[in-house]
Amino acid sequence: MAEKKLSRREREKQRQRQEMLEAAEKLFSEKGYHNASMQEIAEQAEFAVGTLYKFFKNKEDMYKALITEQAERFHQALSAALGSSEDEIEQLRTYIRVKGEVFMSNDTFIRLYFAETRGASFNIKAGLDKELRERHHQMIQRVAAVFAQGMEKGRFQQIATPCHLALAMDSLCNAFLSNWLERRDSYPTSPDTILDIFFQGLLAPEASTTSDI
């Protein structure tokens, strides 16, 4: 069934709504949820404050729309990355590359997303921390399934549970992204930079993890 074509009026309303959300994202990222007002958002977006209330009930409603809609786009991109190949290593490689691309394309939002998923929510009342962490958990489970499948095929050693490996890899990606946010140091241009930490190991062959006493 073909999608219904939007009227000019509907397209204009969508455009206005998007401009409002972009203005809100900028201010929430810079000032935090509690320190940004609807009046400031309206001024940033160049709309009358009353126009904002035609689209959103209040600031909390606007914040929730911003976070959930952006997070859904990010999660769709990451899901597509994991489904891009039947080869486990290539799936992980694509996931790492796409995560860097989609997050670095919107550094203002990533600050909000990290705050929510790491439990430092700007807006406790919105209840988004639970909702987004559940989505994040589902994504971790999908990555864990890739590790589990690789173990079943004998491609990966069972040095840890699939879930622990997924958490470790995702956290490593987030650490590089956090460093990029704060210092603008490059996110690895090759996903293998991160994968090699898992697949190549750190200790030299003659090294030992136990002290010689």
Confidence of residue 178 (pLDDT cuts 50, 70, 90): confident
* Domain spanning 10-56, CATH architecture: Orthogonal Bundle (1.10)
Do the beta carbons of residue 60 and residue 126 sit within 8 Å?
Answer: yes
pTM of the model: 0.77
pLDDT at 213: 44
Domain spans of the chain, in order of start: 10-56, 67-199
Report the chain's mean pLDDT, rounded to a whole number.
84
Percent of the residues in the chain that have a pLDDT greater than 70, as a whole number: 85
pLDDT at 203: 64
For residues 24-53, give the mean pLDDT. Answer: 91
* Res. 145: pLDDT tops 80: yes
* Res. 201: pLDDT tops 90: no
* Res. 86: pLDDT tops 50: yes
Superfamily of segment(s) 67-199:
Tetracycline Repressor, domain 2 (1.10.357.10)
Residues 95-106: tens digit of each pLDDT:
999 999 988 888
Domains 10-56 and 67-199 share a fold: no
- The span from the CA of 33 to the CA of 59, in Å, is 9
For residues 49-66, give the mean pLDDT. Answer: 92
Sole residue written with tokens 């999660």: 75
Query: DSSP labels for 59-107?
Result: HHHHHHHHHHHHHHHHHHHHHHHHTS-SSHHHHHHHHHHHHHHHHHT-H
Weakest mean pLDDT among 26-30, 74-78, 149-153, 180-184: 180-184
For residues 122-140, give the mean pLDDT. Answer: 70
Do the beta carbons of residue 61 and residue 140 sit within 8 Å?
Answer: no
Given phi > 0 = left and psi -120 to 50 = alpha, else beta, which region is 23? Answer: alpha
Weakest mean pLDDT among 46-55, 77-86, 108-117, 193-202: 108-117
